[in-house]
Amino acid sequence: MNKLKVYEQILSKLEEGVHVVNKEGRTVIYNKAMAEIEGMKAEDVIEENLLQVLPALGYESTHMEVLKKGKAIRAKYQEYISKQGKKIVAVNSTYPIMEKGQVVGSFEISKDITYMRKMSEKMLELYSEVADSKKGSFSFPDILGTSKEIKDIIEQCKQVAVTSSNVFIVGDSGTGKEMFAQSIHNASPRRDKPMVAENCAAIPENLLESILFGTTKGSFTGAENKEGLLKQVDGGTLILDEINSMPMSLQSKILRVLETKRYRPIGSNIENQVDVRIIAITNKDPIELVREGKMREDLFYRLSVINIRIPNLQERKGDIEFFTDYYIKYYEEVLNKRLKGVSNEVLRFFKKYDWPGNIRELKHIIEGAMSMMKDGETLQLKHMPYYIRSMLNLRTGQSNSIFTEDNTEKILNQKKSLEEVLNEIEKDIIIKLFHDNNNNISKTAEILGIKRQGLQYKLKKYKIGI
């Protein structure tokens, strides 16, 4: 077997670009992906000097720096222009090739992020439009509920709103954390200033910093002046959702912004002053995040000057009937149909169910059920989604549910509570489906009709191992 041919075939199949030069800077290997990234043909690059092929790059070339210093450069963001005039945006890692302690060449692994860069610039433009509107969508009157728990938390947030302190909001998925964050902004002295919400988990790590801090023209070849969100929301509020998804290196920079009220755009030596209130959001226990090394302890304490926990639906049982009635009326208008009412079985089940998806799950259950119902029908357990019917051993059109009027009394007279019975049934169904799908969380969640995160919650709850 010809090893060289094997290596060439492997290199030709890689999605990352590979570029190898000798100590004089002449190209010896230039794979297909690299040619596509830089818009050049391999035959025009092989044996040619790097600076002749990419004259615009000049001595900003990571190859030239590695050849000179003999030290690797990892994950460097670069923008440059090819000889043919193509703009290249890539993240490059370049390593020295050593022989007997001497640098005899270098090789570079390149990942094209042109598309992601364009998307980030588009997002910044959209954020700018949002910032110009200067207001969020929600205020306290938009937060619904009649329970003491929700009324207490609304009052607490109203007290918080009049201050300028940073806020850390914690709550399960579907509890309305961002509604509370926007409401705090819209009741604050900053309400006439911009407010932008950013989901830290929705943006690639290597773009999040440029979106937050902006970039400076001339910091690298092809770089342009782009305002970051910190600039756009100056005087206002920046909501950082899923802050635990932010890289630790970026968390340290956010900490510095909070401590000094200053920041530097990428590539700039000039510090800009900023006045911004940060509201951080997470659906995880922040103490656990700190213990697991997913969040800086000093950043957590800096952000949690005011710490607010949004109660989940299981903790505010008094709101279940309210939301059931509210969403039925809402979807009666949306779907142009009228229901006769809700069965006692459904109401009993709703009050016993643990609602891992919270209000969002209740809303989706009612929407799905009503979409399949006819005018004048009563909402019954048979209208529930598949994962609920499976849990109750119910099939559409049958009446052998453990919640029928005939045997409800019998169950309640057992040693186990109704909630315990439901939990046992749910656990058995999840174990069977999980094992049938080779412990694949995504497939099992899809069959159950719940989100991946909801299934992970239940696996942890029932201590079902992967």
Structure confidence at residue 440 (pLDDT): 84
> Please, what's the largest Cα pairwise distance for the chain?
88
CB atoms within 10 A of CB 413: 7
Average pLDDT, the chain: 84
**Lowest model confidence (mean pLDDT) among 161-165, 223-227, 381-385:** 223-227
Report whether pLDDT(246) > 60: yes
What average pLDDT does this structure show over 69-90?
83
**Lowest model confidence (mean pLDDT) among 29-33, 206-210, 239-243:** 206-210
Report whether pLDDT(234) > 70: yes
Q: Give 115-139 pLDDT, tens digit per residue.
A: 666 665 555 555 555 444 444 479 9
Give the confidence band of 460 by pLDDT, cuts at 50, 70, 90.
confident
**Lowest model confidence (mean pLDDT) among 194-198, 404-408, 421-425:** 404-408
Name all domains of the chain by residue range, CATH numbers in brackets. 3-112 (3.30.450.20), 115-311 (3.40.50.300), 319-461 (1.10.8.60)
Alpha-carbon span 31 to 8, nearest angstrom = 8
Give the confidence band of 10 by pLDDT, cuts at 50, 70, 90.
confident
What average pLDDT does this structure show over 172-197?
93
pTM for the whole structure: 0.61
Residue pair 143/183 in contact (Cβ under 8 Å)? The answer is yes
Give the confidence band of 90 by pLDDT, cuts at 50, 70, 90.
confident
Nearest to 165 by CA among 188, 132, 131, 144: 188
Report whether pLDDT(268) > 80: yes
Percent of the chain with pLDDT over 90: 47
Handedness of CA 281, 283, 285, 288 (dihedral sign): negative
What average pLDDT does this structure show over 91-109?
91
Report whether pLDDT(260) > 90: yes
Alpha-carbon span 81 to 221, nearest angstrom = 8
Give the confidence band of 141 by pLDDT, cuts at 50, 70, 90.
very high
Task: Kindly state the tokens that stand for 254.
Answer: 């956010």
Structure confidence at residue 218 (pLDDT): 54
Give the confidence band of 89 by pLDDT, cuts at 50, 70, 90.
confident
Task: Kindly state the tokens that stand for 240.
Answer: 């950082």
Question: Between 186 and 446, where is the model more confident?
Answer: 186
Percent of the chain with pLDDT over 70: 85
Report whether pLDDT(285) > 80: yes
Question: Between 160 and 452, where is the model more confident?
Answer: 160
What average pLDDT does this structure show over 71-100?
85
Structure confidence at residue 413 (pLDDT): 54
Handedness of CA 315, 316, 318, 319 (dihedral sign): negative
Structure confidence at residue 439 (pLDDT): 83
Alpha-carbon span 170 to 12, nearest angstrom = 48
HEC assignment per residue over the chain: CCHHHHHHHHHHHCCCEEEEEECCCEEEEECHHHHHHHCCCHHHHECCEHHHHCCCCHHHCHHHHHHHHCCCEEEEEEEEECCCCCEEEEEEEEEEEEECCEEEEEEEEEEECHHHHHHHHHHHHHHHHHHHHCCCCCCHHHCCCCCHHHHHHHHHHHHHHCCCCCEEEECCCCCCHHHHHHHHHHCCCCCCCCEEEEECCCCCHHHHHHHHHEECCCCCCCCCCEECHHHHCCCCEEEEECHHHCCHHHHHHHHHHHHHCEECCECCCCCEECCCEEEEEECCCHHHHHHCCCCCHHHHHHHCCEEEECCCHHHCHHHHHHHHHHHHHHHHHHHCCCCCEECHHHHHHHHHCCCCCHHHHHHHHHHHHHHHCCCCCEECHHHCCHHHHHHCCCCCCCCCCCCCHHHHHHHHCCCCCHHHHHHHHHHHHHHHHHHHCCCCHHHHHHHHCCCHHHHHHHHHHCCCCC
Question: Between 397 and 110, where is the model more confident?
Answer: 110
What average pLDDT does this structure show over 405-422?
55
What average pLDDT does this structure show over 79-100?
85
Distances (CA, A) of 191 to 76, 105, 127, 141: 39, 58, 17, 15
Q: Give 34-49 pLDDT, tens digit per residue.
A: 998 888 898 899 999 9
Angle of helix 205-213 relative to helix 114-133, nearest 10 degrees? 40
Structure confidence at residue 8 (pLDDT): 75
Report whether pLDDT(2) > 50: yes
Structure confidence at residue 443 (pLDDT): 81
